[in-house]
Chains A and B, each alone.
Chain A
Amino acid sequence: MIKLENVTKVYKGEMVALREASVDIDKGEFVFLVGPSGSGKSTFLRLLNREERPEQGKIFVAGKDIAELPGYKVPYLRRNIGSIFQDFKLLPSKTVSENVAFALEAIGRPRSAIREAVPQILDLVGLGKKANNMPDELSGGEQQRVSIARAFVNRPLILLADEPTGNLDPATSVGIMKLLDRINRTGTTVVMATHDRGIVDTMRRRVIELDRGRIVRDQARGVYE
Chain B
Amino acid sequence: MKKVFIDGPISPEFISESIRKHQTKTDIGAHNIFLGQVRADVVNNKTVAAIDFTCYEAMANEILTDIREKAFKTFNLTCMHIYHSLGTVKAGEICFFVFVSAKHSSEVYEATQYLVDIVKKKVPLFGKEIFEDETHQWKTNK
- Do A and B associate with each other? no
Q: Using CB atoms and an 8 Å cutoff, list the residues of chain B in contact with chain A.
A: none
Q: Using CB atoms and an 8 Å cutoff, list the residues of chain A in contact with chain B.
A: none
